A and B are shown apart, each in its own frame.
Chain A
Amino acid sequence: MKIAVLVKEVPDLEVKVGVSDGGTELEVEDRNVLNFFDELAVEEAVRIRESGLAAEVYCVSAGDGRGNEAARRGLAMGADSAFLVDDAVLANADPLTIARTLAALVEREGYDLVLAGKQSTDDESGLVAAMVAELLGIPCVAGVVELELEEGSARVVREQPDGKETLRVPLPAVLTAEKGLNTPRVPQVMGVMKAMKVQVPTVELEELGVEAAPELRPRAYHLPPERPPVKMLEGEPAEAAAELVRRLREEAGVL
């Protein structure tokens, strides 16, 4: 069995974010990490290989000058290989273009199972993996918290607002990882050293024969509105609580 893991490089949560040129440009500090949910997907893939149920795990990433960090982290965690699609066309790409790119690449490399994170921590859209499934013509289950491989299928558990449900999905399929699936390993120093030395092969869009969807370029950006300064309520718990209730009713009008 061959497992493909879709990985994305995202800005670290603590990066500085600004808006310039009258709101037309977004400036994000260049400090990137492997997406938290993708880390769960890599971990799961490597565990499946370690259990002997899969022979090979590879990571794929697509972006404009981005993805190397994600690919190397995947390798350091134990993926056998990684591929990077690095193309200027991907700078403001619609998620559909990214999905077409990743689908073409995994089609070329072969797969029996595709794993990914349930969403990226920057866009939080969860579009690409499901789009890849549709492009490949295979089913997708998003937000998996338990995964067990069976003969020709996978048994998965996911969270719904009213509890957990258990599903059986035929393979190949795309499954996306939700927090709780596993606890990702911290790569060993040896693994990190090894990953640093690997030359991650880059692929161009043209080689894959991918047609880009029209770019998605926002007309403007803005920062979140600033909240007015906090009103601190003093006194003993009972007094402060009573004052809070009064303010929520009369001032904020939310009770």
Chain B
Amino acid sequence: MSLAERGRRIWVYCEGEGGGYRSASLELLAQARRLAAEGDAEVVEVVAITAEGDGDSETLQGRAHRVLVLTGAELVPYTADSLVAALSAAAEEDEQGLFLFPEGMRAREVLPRLAVRTGGRAVMNAVKLLAEDGELVVTRPVVGGRAYAELLVDEGPWLVAFRPNSFNPDFPADLETEVQSVETDGASSRIEVLEGAGGDVGVVDLAEAQVVVTGGRGMKDPGNLQLLEGLADALNGAVGVSRAVVDAGWAEHAIQVGKSGKTVSPTLYFAFGISGAIHHIMGMDTAKVVVAVNTDPSAPIFEYADYGIVGDALEVLPALTEAIGGNG
């Protein structure tokens, strides 16, 4: 019997960012390895699949049984059309494959189109992948995070995108890794880039940050938002804001946390002067530890917080930045 007949193969799309691979991809590799090591769900092979130009595939050594590097002139720089063509060629090789993606713009562009081409299941926004009774189970939020659904990974290819920070990224990189290169048939992009994004690599991505420091209307003035940056810098975190702050024109929508903004799942989340409307909670309720500071002791945010301080964000925030800097 071939490998594929005896069990499932897990493919992890290793997405490049700033010359390396996204940590959200590396944590998926770690989880796939964990499932393979447990042996319960008969994960027979973990394959890191990546495109030329995404990162240095040498750094994936030990993290997967096999690294498949897709090569081709159209793949650099990334375009959705060329990556879809390249990945679908690879996916057709494994009709029972489980393909994992890190959530983000690329997953949103590529995954649905691959699902159409392969007839596979497409699941976005997943937060858990576990083996139970020999089966793989994916968990994802439904009704905007008000409940969670458990999906049994059944027949056919499955394409699943996971929210960053869903898994422990630490797993020994101790495998013998075979690196393969596959030349893909070119598919040129139908979309023309007129002006690229800034490519500012100094910024910690809000969606992936381990620490997120957010402020709401309790920050009182747009000029005070820089206090959030002070704390975020001290903790190598990212700054976010509430919808009210964006709607008031104090900050860009790109850093809004909540239903109509970003969903974040950091290890540590700070909410300064945010009341905690359901709209906001839906964007951060999977954060592991939540700290809330608000002048109103009955603010709903305290119901979702692990630690609370009743007080003025403008007084507590600098004190906190100092306390962390002083002891760090």
Contacts and interface: CB of A to CB of B under 8 A. Distances in A.
The answer to whether A binds B is yes
A11 B327 CA distance: 47
Given A19-B147, A213-B119, A237-B315, A163 B198 contact: yes
Contact of B194 (A124, A141, A166): A166
Interface in A129-179: 130-131, 133-135, 139-143, 145, 155, 159-170, 178-179
A218 B151 contact: yes
Interface string A11-40: 101110101000000101000000011000
A248 B234 CA distance: 15
Most-contacted residue by chain B among A130, A134, A231 (CB, 10 A): A130
A144 to B, nearest CB: 12
B303 interface: yes
A168 B108 CA distance: 19
A240 interface: yes
A230 B308 contact: yes
B248 interface: no
B113 interface: yes
Interface in B159-206: 190-201, 203, 205-206
Contact of A162 (B116, B198, B235): B198
A189 interface: no
B6 interface: no
Contacts of B322: 238, 241
A127 to B, nearest CB: 5
- Size bracket, chain B contacts: 35 or more
Contacts of A178: 253
Interface of A is mostly: mixed
A227 B80 CA distance: 39
A121 B278 CA distance: 12
A223 interface: yes
A142 B150 contact: no
B150 to A, nearest CB: 5
Interface of A: 11, 13-15, 17, 19, 26, 28, 36-37, 94-96, 99, 121-128, 130-131, 133-135, 139-143, 145, 155, 159-170, 178-180, 213, 216, 218-224, 227-228, 230-233, 237-238, 240-242, 244-245, 247-248, 252, 254-255
Interface of B: 80-81, 104-105, 108-109, 111-113, 115-117, 119, 121-125, 137, 141-152, 190-201, 203, 205-207, 235, 253-254, 256, 259-261, 263, 267-268, 278-279, 282, 285, 288-292, 302-312, 315-316, 319-320, 322-324, 327
10 contacts: A140-B109, A140-B113, A162-B198, A169-B191, A221-B149, A224-B285, A227-B305, A230-B308, A245-B320, A248-B307
Given A139-B191, A248-B307, 4 more contacts: A219-B150, A227-B305, A240-B316, A255-B235
